Chains A and B, each alone.
Chain A
């Protein structure tokens, strides 16, 4: 029960983080796609930029956790996947996803 409340709280806290981050992300997308996406343009923006690295690391972590908790809730309701085992599995999936995102951000920072 306590764990379930913490999962809910984590999903809402990440939701607040994501609300701000997604606004920035959408604006960046609109700017980046003008004239087509190019690796040079992306790398020029992100390479060596600590601010963007921190932003994307937080963004990826929040997105990974938020998405996994959401999928956990849906799987519980629609597939009957309930219990601590599934909770741990989803949390693991969320953290691994986030790690891949942070790895990508790290790669772009060093590109």
Chain B
């Protein structure tokens, strides 16, 4: 059992899990938007079909995952390209905070 009890490791796990989630969602997202090829009515039909609490919850999850993956990715880029070695723990916390904030904002606006 490797030692995994430190913030940068949690940051890695969140980044990987959110990345897998987003990568699996991406083809669905493009397929759904592809309805627009058949005109505005087809897209509207799809949007009405997804206008319920189950899809709203999913959308909230995706927005949170996207924000999480963005913030976690910026942490990695800061380390790799700017050599920011200090305050990595704070950056992990900041990433989580940013994701929660984005998710909350989505809920407030979608409500």
Contact = CB atoms under 8 A, between A and B. Distances in A.
Indicate if A touches B (C-beta under 8 A). yes
Contacts of A29: 63, 106
B51 A36 contact: yes
Given A12-B77, A22-B70, A29-B63, A101 B30 contact: yes
Interface of B: 16, 19-20, 22-23, 26-27, 29-31, 33-37, 39-41, 43-44, 47, 51, 59, 63, 66-67, 70, 73-74, 77, 80-81, 102, 105-106, 109-110
Interface of A: 12, 15-16, 18-19, 22-23, 25-26, 29-31, 33-34, 36-40, 42-43, 60, 63-64, 67-68, 70-71, 74, 97, 100-101, 103-108, 111
Contacts of B43: 39, 42-43, 111
A22 B40 contact: no
Main secondary structure on B side of the interface with A: helix
Contacts of A70: 19-20, 23
Nearest to A37: B47
Main secondary structure on A side of the interface with B: helix
Nearest to A106: B37
